[in-house]
Amino acid sequence: MKPSTRENFKSLAIGLAALAGLILWLKYQPKPPADWSEIGSGAALCPGFDDASLPTSLTIARPASEGEKTVLAEIRLEKGNGGWIIKTADDAPADSPDRLTMVLAPLMRLTVLSDIREINSHSDETAVREFHRSSKLLDPTGVSGADLADAGIRLTVSGADQEKYADLIIGAVPEGSSEVRDIHYVRVAGEDAVFTADFSGEALSEVGEEKALPYTDRLSTDPIDWMNRDLLRISRWNIARMTLYQIAVDEKGTLIPHSVETVTQDPDRSLGRVWERERLVTFDSAEKPAETEITDENRTPDNTPLNERAEQIAHLRFSSLKRLPPALAALAAAGRPAGEWTGFADQLGPLGFRFADHDPADPASVEPVLLGAEGTARLDMKEGVSLTVLFGSETADGQAILVIPALDESLFAPPEAPAAPEGISEEETKRLADEKRLRENELALNRSRAQALLERERNRLSGWVFFLGD
């Protein structure tokens, strides 16, 4: 037999073995029962769902109060290349560290606690529907008006090709249920059979132990509940340099300058101080900047207000967010300078983000700068990314905040090689060249890491205006 023929037979055998394995795998995969009314205690309510990485979409629909009316509230999440996003909230990130796990994990082990035999064996559709109504098991996506008040929560979890891993309607708590369990009436969407199921998962070790958030409370349709509300997600100790623009801007765009101060954080906390002043600009009565000479007497500022300000900025939390206009979001995501943003002054102004025709602390500058009406802070992080935080105006949604990430180029300037002393050996010359090359490689690696971090921060922050709140 020729070698090419043997190789062909070998490839064919491997292919047939793989196909046989796939057929066996499909054969023994858990499948929904042919008749849900026939299943009993212990049966899986989400057969085939055994891996939290499988879902690519999640939808929640539930009744909600709107004044005196009951309306349908919905939220839809999808998994993209960068993680989960909220499709019903302008693709905002669904990056809460726990919410998805708290929703998906119980479904993978959810089984029938008991079946409601008198309903599941009933042939009277009217009686079945009345039980659905009294148990809050009406499908909220299939009713309207007054019937919504008797609807449950529909939870749909799908994977690739819209394969459904869960499609449940979760209803009321059965009368007499244990207070230390999380038991609800439940049925599969499109099926009449009713069961009870325990969403608390593993048995609690003792009665009275503190429970997790009730399962139906985790099924929020408020987008903010699915987000990580920590705005900057940094530690104060990772701030290498902080510049505080204590400059207000009124509604007419008039600058009201007080000072611009740059301080660096001492990397050695054992020295008994944290911040060291690097630059201080004050303004006279005519609002002209005056550079203060930094001396040993004024180099070490009062740390208390600086520490408080750094902590406050590092732990900002938002309560809502809104998309920037698409064209402006694209400029922000690309890191374009503020001079290219001026065409959006009418949209930014009411939020308290206003343009100055130059840097107020630098009369020689000619490029426009964007400032917050209530102040601006630039944080240069040790990792090589800077975050400029603009504190805008108070609005009905809270104080508006804009965050502009950029690369801190000062950390990545090419190192200057020391002049080689005259008369050194060839071996010493080679050693100095190797050291220079190592420094350059390390700088390039650090820059590459900072660039990757910058990309993530721009994807997360640049398309949005955030509003502070509890």
Name the token pair of 412: 């990545």
Q: Tell me the chain's radius of gyration from C-alpha atoms.
A: 31
Q: Is the pLDDT of residue 425 over 90?
A: no
Q: Using one digit for the tens of pLDDT, what is the confidence trace for 94-127?
A: 999 889 999 999 999 999 999 887 777 767 888 8
Show the tokens assigned to 421: 């002393």
Q: Is 62 exposed, middle or buried (0-12, 13-18, 19+ CB in 10 A)?
A: buried
- Look up residue 304 and give its amino acid: T
74-78, Cβ contacts within 8 angstroms, sequence gap of 24 or more: 74/221, 75/220, 75/221, 75/222, 75/223, 75/226, 77/226
Q: Which is higher by pLDDT, 331 or 436?
A: 331
Task: Note the pLDDT of residue 427.
Answer: 82
Q: Are residues 201 and 325 in the same domain?
A: no
Q: How far does CA 470 lie from the centroid of its chain?
A: 17
Percent of the chain with pLDDT over 70: 87
Q: For residues 210 and 262, state if they share a domain.
A: no
**Statement: residue 23 has pLDDT above 80:** no
For residues 260 and 352, membership in a common domain is answered with yes
Please, is 14 exposed, middle or buried when counting C-beta atoms within 10 Å of its C-beta (0-12, 13-18, 19+)?
Answer: exposed
How confident is residue 2, by pLDDT bands cut at 50, 70 and 90?
low
88 pLDDT higher than 90 = yes
Contacts of residue 307, defined as CB under 8 A and 6 or more positions apart, other chains included, come to 236, 274, 275
Contacts 24+ apart (CB under 8 A), 211-214: 211/180, 211/182, 212/102, 213/102, 214/182
Alpha helices in 222-325 (DSSP H): 303-314
For residue 255, what pLDDT is reported?
85
Are 209 and 306 contained in the same domain?
A: no
Residue 3 has what pLDDT?
53
Question: Which secondary-structure segment (H or E) carries 241?
Answer: strand 239-249
Higher pLDDT, 429 or 350: 350
Q: Is the pLDDT of residue 188 over 80?
A: yes
Domain edge (last residue) among 180, 206, 226: 226
Look at residue 219 and tell me if it is in a domain.
yes
Longest dimension (CA), the chain: 105
Q: State percent of the chain over pLDDT 90.
A: 62
Tokens of 211: 């429970």
Is pLDDT of 167 > 60? Answer: yes
Instruction: Confirm if 454 and 389 have CB atoms less than 8 A apart.
Output: no
Q: What is the mean pLDDT of residues 78-106?
A: 92
Check residue 469 and give its pLDDT: 81
Query: Which residue range(s) make up the domain with 247?
Result: 236-414+445-468
**Domain stops at, among 226, 248, 267:** 226
Q: Hey, what amino acid is at 355?
A: F
Q: At 440, is the pLDDT very low, low, confident or very high (cuts 50, 70, 90)?
A: confident
345 belongs to a structural domain: yes
**243 and 201: one domain?**
no
Contacts (Cβ under 8 Å, ≥6 apart) of 122: 128
Q: Is residue 284 part of a domain?
A: yes
Same-domain check for residues 156 and 270: no
Least confident of 23-37, 53-67, 408-422: 23-37
Q: Measured at the alpha carbon of residue 405, what is the angle toward residues 399 and 410, in degrees to the nearest 5?
A: 135
407 - beta bridge partners? Answer: 385
Within a domain: 392: yes
C-beta separation of 406 from 388 below 8 A: yes
Confidence check: pLDDT of 169 > 90: yes
Q: Do 144 and 266 belong together in one domain? A: no
Decide if 20 is inside a domain. Answer: no
Strand 289-291 relative to strand 353-356: parallel, antiparallel, unpaired?
unpaired
Strand-pair partners of 74:
61
197 is a domain residue = yes
* pLDDT of 134: 95
Domain contains 222: yes
Specify whether 253 is located in the same domain as 293.
yes
Number of domains into which the chain is organized: 2
pLDDT tens track for 369-388: 999 999 999 999 999 999 99
Output the pLDDT for position 244: 96
Per-residue pLDDT at 28: 41
Most confident of 35-49, 51-65, 261-275: 51-65
Q: Do 282 and 401 lie in a common domain?
A: yes
Instruction: Kindly state whether residues 178 and 295 are assigned to the same domain.
Output: no
Domain final residue pick, 226, 248, 283: 226
For residue 350, how far is the Cα from the chain centroid?
A: 26
Mean pLDDT, the chain, whole residue set: 87
The answer to the question of residue 273 being in a domain is yes
Q: With cut-offs at 50, 70 and 90, classify the pLDDT of residue 15.
A: low
Q: Helix, strand or coil for residue 67?
A: coil
Q: What is the pTM of this model?
A: 0.82
Domain check: are 194 and 335 in the same one? Answer: no
Q: Are residues 222 and 327 in the same domain?
A: no
